[in-house]
Amino acid sequence: MKKQIAKFIFLIFMLSGCDFTSGLHKDILKAQDLITKQEFSKAVKVYEDILKTKPSKTIQIKINYQLGEIYSLYLNDSKKALSHLQTIIDASNEPLWQKNAMEKMGAIYFEKYKDYKRAKKAYKSLMDFLPKLERQEFYTFRYALCEFHLKNYSLSDKIFKELTRTSVNHVGVESFYYLGLTKFYLRDWDSAVNFWFEFLKREKRKDKIVQAKFLIANAYESAEKLKEAYNIYYSIIGEYPNPEVIENRLNSLYERRVARKR
C-alpha cells in the first residue's frame, strides 16, 4: 500500500515539470519518503509548509489533493480533508481535478458524516458534469440513496426504478433492495416483499441474501401473514448473524399462531 502511494505521488509531480535541482522538489521528495515510511503527520507538515511558499497553481492543486487523501484515509481528519478539497473546487478550472475533489468530498459527506444534503449536492454536480463521467450510474445511485436517507421517498423511488431498468451491474440489483426498503418504511408490505424477491433473483452475496430474507419475514409478520413469516425465519436459522433474534421471532410467531386457533 505505501509503495503505491509513493509511486502515485512521484508520478504526478514528475508530470508537473518540477525542477529536480530546486528546493521545492527536495521538499516533495521528503514528503514522499515520509509517506513511504507511513509517517503521515510529518508528511502533511512538509506539504503544508510547501503551500505557504505559494508554488505554482498546478502544484498547489496537486498538493491540496494529496493532503485531502492523507487526512481522510490515514489521519482520520475529515474536516481538514474537506478544507483542502474545497480549495481545489474554488481555485481550479481543470475538469480532472474538479471531478477528483468532488468525488472525495461526496464520499466523505456520505460515508463519514452521513450529511446527505451535502453529499447529494456533490453527487448532483458529478451527474451534471460535461462531458458525462464514466461513473454516472454510481453517482446517480448515491444521489438516490441521499434522497432515500432524507426521506424523500417519491424522488428516490423514481430513480431506483429507473436504475433497475437501465443498469446491468450491482447498482441495479441494489436498487431493488432499496425499493423494497422504501415500501417497507411506507408500510406497503406486499410491495416491499415483491421488490425484495426481485432482489433475491439477482443477488449473489450470501450476507445480502440472508438480510433480505429477514426483512421479507419481517414484512410478512407486519402484514399478519404469520405462516409465511415463520417459514422464512426458519429458512435462515444458522445463517443470520444473531441467532437469538431468529429464535425469539420463531417463538413469538408460534405463540401467536396458537393463540389464533383458540
Q: What's the pTM?
A: 0.89
Cα 233 from Cα 251, distance rounded (Å)? 11
Q: Quick check: 20 pLDDT over 50? A: no
pLDDT of residue 3: 54
pLDDT at 235: 98
CA distances from 7 to 2, 24, 99 (A): 9, 18, 21
Q: What is the mean pLDDT of residues 234-247?
A: 97
Instruction: Tell me the pLDDT tens digit for each residue of 138-192.
Output: 999 999 999 999 999 999 999 999 999 999 889 999 999 999 999 999 999 999 9
pLDDT in tens, 96-122: 999 999 999 999 999 999 999 999 999
Residue 121, Cβ density class (10 Å: 0-12 exposed, 13-18 middle, ≥19 buried) = middle
Structurally, what CATH architecture does the domain formed by 152-256 represent? Alpha Horseshoe (1.25)
Work out the number of other CB atoms within 10 angstroms of the CB of residue 75: 15
Give CA separation, 54 vs 41, 47, 51, 63, 83, in Å.
Answer: 21, 11, 5, 11, 17
**Over the stretch 50-100, which tens digit does the pLDDT of each residue have?**
999 999 999 999 999 999 999 999 999 999 999 999 999 999 889 999 999
Neighbours of 222 (CB within 10 A): 13
Give CA–CA dist 206/78, Å, rounded: 33
Question: What's the half-sphere exposure (Cβ side, CA atoms, 13 Å) at 158?
Answer: 4
Whether cis (ω within 30° of 0) applies to the bond prior to 55 is: no
> In angstroms, rounded to a whole number, what is the distance separating the alpha carbons of residues 96 and 251?
57
Instruction: Tell me what pLDDT residue 15 has.
Output: 40
Do 221 and 249 form a contact (C-beta atoms < 8 A)?
A: yes
The single residue listed with the C-alpha cell 456533490 is 122
pLDDT band at 22 (very low <50, low <70, confident <90, very high): confident
5/228 Cα distance (integer angstroms): 52
pLDDT at res. 155: 98
99-106 contacts at long range (C-beta below 8 A, 24 or more positions apart): 99/126, 99/129, 99/133, 100/65, 101/65, 101/68, 102/126, 103/135, 104/65, 104/68, 104/69, 104/72, 106/139, 106/142
CB 133 within 8 A of CB 126: yes
CA gap 16, 22 in Å, rounded: 13
Q: What is the mean pLDDT of residues 209-237?
A: 98
User: What residue spans define the domains of the chain?
Assistant: 152-256
Task: Give the containing element (helix H, strand E) for 177.
Answer: helix 170-185
Please state, in angstroms and as integers, the Cα–Cα distance from residue 52 to each residue in 65, 75, 101, following that order.
15, 21, 21
Label residue 16 by pLDDT band (50, 70, 90).
very low
